[in-house]
Amino acid sequence: MNDCGYLHSVESGAAADGPGVRLVFFLSGCQFRCLYCHNPDTWKLHHGRPVTVDQAMAEVEPLAGFLRLTGGVTISGGEPLMQAAFAGALFRRCRALGLHTALDTQGFLHADVSDDWFDPVDLVLLDIKHSDPARYQALTGQPLQPTLDFARRLVRLGKKMWIRYVLVPGWTDDVADVERLADFVATLGDAVERVDILPFHQLGAHKWAELGLDYRLADTCPPSPALLARVQRQFADRGLTVY
């Protein structure tokens, strides 16, 4: 139902989930099983707490004046498009308060929503996890093409994007794979405001253990400064703004 959803958590004062200082709703449920996921506790939809839109907006409304000046509201996950009706209702309510809105997604389920669903969304933080279809499937458990199609759709809709790429040594650092992705992102033109290269970390490893899950990247180290700089340069060489 539009007015009910499952909420994993809420973070206020977030500075890494869109422009400025933001309130972030982390919704439960994700159909991906990324090997490097740092929030596997968000995978199951009903592991979140049930809330109504009114209850969720009660987190926003006292901060609305502050958020209008400093940032806005981001809906993340899990995967927000698993709860598209609920997320869409939240976006419309936030837009009615004059707040900047951002959607953090891998876009896999975009075909399930109409173009006008995106009307109250100001910015999409689009996570593209790999450029090679076979490696993408091995890394996430899902196919790549829907995400690429979603990026093209956002261009058609005139939506701004921040592309996010998690740099995992041994998985997403191959020179040719990065070149292929950088070439694709460059074709999206002015719709892409920036590219964020996010270094892999082990901060969520304990969650895998607590959930009894097999964490295959336990021995993977974060990328070196030199590797991070090389991947950033590959995107910057296409004229993209990179962080």
Given this model, what pLDDT does residue 13 score?
87
What is the domain-level CATH number for residue 184? 3.20.20.70
Q: How confident is the model at residue 176 (pLDDT cuts 50, 70, 90)?
A: very high
At 32, the amino acid letter reads F
Domain contains 172: yes
Is 232 part of a structural domain of the chain? Answer: yes
The total number of structural domains in the chain stands at 1
Residue 26 in domain? yes
Chain segment 117-139, per-residue pLDDT in tens: 999 999 999 999 999 999 999 99
pLDDT in tens, 154-173: 999 999 999 999 999 999 99
Tally Cβ neighbours within 10 Å of residue 101. Answer: 22
Give pLDDT tens digits for 17-30: 999 999 999 999 99
Q: 1 pLDDT exceeds 60?
A: no
- Is residue 24 one of the residues assigned to a domain? yes
Tell me the residue range of the domain where 60 lies.
Answer: 4-236
Q: Which of 236, 228, 154 is nearest to 194 (CA)?
A: 236
> Would residue 243 count as lying in a domain?
no
Predicted confidence band of residue 199 (pLDDT cuts 50, 70, 90): very high
